[in-house]
Amino acid sequence: MPRNLVLLALAAAVAACGDDSAPSDADGADTREATDDAALEAEAATDDAAPDGPDVGDDAPADAAPDAPDAAPATLHDELLLHAAGGSLVRPDGTPVDFRGAISCCGGAYGWPLFDEAWADYAAAKAVTFLHVRLGPFLTGPGGESDWAAVGGGYPEGPDGRADLATWNEPFWARVRALLEYAAQRGMWVEVDLVDGWAAKHCRWGDTPGYSPWDAAWNVQGEDWCTTAGSREISGDDVHERWVRKAVRETGRWGNVLYQDGNEIGIVGGYAPEWTLSLRNIVRDEEARNGWRRHPFGTNSDDPAAMAADGVDYLEFHQDGAADPAGCFGRPCGVNEYNPDPALTPEQLHAAFCAARAWGTYYWYWRHGQDAAAMDRSLDLLAAGCG
Mean local confidence (pLDDT), 311-333: 98
Buried b / exposed e across 179-203, counting CB within 10 Å, b at 16+? bbbbbbebebbbbbbbbbbbbbbbb
Mean local confidence (pLDDT), 187-207: 98
pLDDT at 22 over 50: no
CA-based nearest residue to 268, from 305, 244, 303, 308: 303
Residue count (the chain) = 387
CA-based nearest residue to 298, from 364, 380, 221, 381: 364
What pLDDT score does 60 carry? 34
Q: How far apart are CA 141 and CA 131, in angstroms?
A: 25
Burial of 242 by CB count in 10 Å (0-12 exposed, 13-18 middle, 19+ buried)? buried
pLDDT tens-digit series, residues 357-374: 999 999 999 999 999 999
pLDDT at 150 over 70: yes
Better-scored residue on pLDDT, 50 or 199: 199
pLDDT tens-digit series, residues 93-121: 999 999 999 999 988 889 999 999 999 99
What pLDDT score does 84 carry? 98
Mean local confidence (pLDDT), 204-228: 98
Q: What residue type is 199 in one-letter code?
A: A
pLDDT at 15 over 70: no
Contact 309, 340 (CB under 8 A): no
CA-based nearest residue to 303, from 331, 267, 260: 267
Give the pLDDT band (50/70/90) at residue 74.
Answer: low
Q: Which domains does the chain have, with CATH numbers?
A: 5-46+71-384 (3.20.20.80)
Question: What Cα–Cα distance (Å) separates residue 31 from each residue in 76, 160, 161?
Answer: 24, 22, 19
What pLDDT score does 46 carry? 35
Distance of CA 189 to the CA centre of its chain: 11
Q: How far apart are CA 273 and CA 44, in angstroms?
A: 38
Helix ranges (DSSP H) in the chain = 5-15, 37-45, 117-125, 170-185, 197-205, 239-251, 273-290, 304-308, 346-359, 372-384
pLDDT tens-digit series, residues 326-346: 999 999 999 999 999 999 999
Q: How far apart are CA 38 and CA 241, in angstroms?
A: 30
Mean local confidence (pLDDT), 278-283: 98
What pLDDT score does 116 carry? 98
What are the beta bridge partners of residue 175? Answer: none
Contact 81, 110 (CB under 8 A): no
Percent of the chain residues past pLDDT 90, beyond the cut: 78
Give the pLDDT band (50/70/90) at residue 380.
Answer: very high
pLDDT tens-digit series, residues 157-182: 999 999 999 999 999 999 999 999 99
pLDDT at 40 over 70: no
